[in-house]
Amino acid sequence: MVSVRALMKAFGVASTGNRSICLHLLGFARQRVPTDPDSATVARVSLLQHAADRTRPRIHLNVIRVGFDGVPAANRDAASDMVDYGIYKLRNIFRTVGLAVGRVEHWTVTAAQANGRDDVGSEDEADILSDEWSVNNDGIDVFVVRTISAGFIGISPVPGSCDKDLSAPQPGGGAANPQDTGSRNDGLLGGELDRDPEGFARTFAHELGHFLRLEHNHGGEPECPATDAGKNNLMAQTRCSISARNSVLLTSTQGDTMRTHCSVKNP
């Protein structure tokens, strides 16, 4: 038997003071289990399952909302619910290949601070967003913006970099890393608000797959996997997938690959 506070501690979450299971342990910003887009289904979480996850390798996330203050007040709860659903879905997807999602923290960059980057219009703009903002911890920075005006719906380096310690100043003002040239690939664009929740969740997990070394399981457009199994794999692009909800499968080989990434922490 393990206590909730011990579980939080196992996942690197501060366990003292007033804590919320939904927020601090499970990472749901709305402090409740998110809404399943299928109205016939109720999303459920299992603390027992989460307790078992503490024995598994895990990643930590920083979910960075960009420009959400510009979302009309009436739509903000739905936007937050969608992000939480993405986290919920991600945990379920990655768990199938033995990879847990540990600490999830929520961060924000206001529209004014973003200076236009709450609407990403090109790959270079996605690059700049990740260059301009970084959370100084061991979590993967996942940006969620209001709009992506470019032709993609998410983007990530393959693989992502764990080297986020580029901001520490050195005596005399020298660079933290003499080899540092500032082309940080330490963040990814997990999606935009202008999507349906199921599509958003799939892209969120898909891009994290890329960050953790996974490539597409098919060639460039117009190619798609030849089999249904391929199309149902998480790493098929959304344009190739059969259904956003169910085309989220991972193979054990893909799980093995993801677990070799530097951001994966062993228990």
Please pick, from the candidates 107, 232, 251, 265, the single residue that binds another protein as defined by CB under 8 A.
Answer: 107
Residue of 16, 46, 181, 266 that binds another protein (CB under 8 A): 181
How many other CB atoms sit within 10 Å of the CB of residue 175? 13
256 binds another protein (CB under 8 A): no
- From the list 45-53, 85-93, 179-187, 249-257, the region that binds another protein by CB under 8 A is 179-187
CA distance 82 to 1: 32
Write down the least CB distance from residue 136 to another protein, Å: 6
**Interface pick for another protein out of 142, 145, 155, 250 (rule CB under 8 A):** 155
Residue 166 in contact with another protein, rule: CB under 8 A: yes
d(Cα 169, Cα 111) in Å, to the nearest integer? 28
Evaluate whether 52 touches 4 at the Cβ level (below 8 Å).
no
User: Which of helix, strand or coil describes residue 208?
Assistant: helix
Binding mask 64-103 toward another protein (x if CB under 8 A, else -) reads xx--------------------------------------
Beta carbon nearer to another protein, 56 or 109: 109
Task: Give the chain's end-to-end CA distance (angstroms, integer).
Answer: 17
Q: Does 203 bind another protein (CB under 8 A)?
A: yes
d(CA 110, CA 105): 17
Kindly tell me which residue out of 46, 151, 226, 266 binds another protein, with binding defined by CB under 8 A.
151
Pick the closer one to another protein by CB: 38 or 124.
124
Residue 215 DSSP one-character state: P
Nearer to another protein, 10 or 109 (CB): 109
* Residues 1 to 60 in contact with another protein, rule: CB under 8 A: 18-20, 23, 29, 31
Q: Which of 44, 72, 172, 226 binds another protein (CB under 8 A)?
A: 172
Cα separation, 188 vs 44, whole angstroms: 27
Closest approach, Cβ 14 to another protein, in A, equals: 10
Angle between helices 73-95 and 197-211 (to 10 degrees): 50
- The whole-angstrom separation of Cα 238 and Cα 231 is 9
The amino acid at residue 247 is: S
Q: How far is the CB of 10 from another protein (least distance, A)?
A: 21
Residue 66 and residue 129 in contact, taking contact as beta carbons nearer than 8 Å? yes
Residue with tokens 């290949």: 97
Min CB(248)–another protein separation in Å: 12
Does 138 contact another protein by CB under 8 A?
no
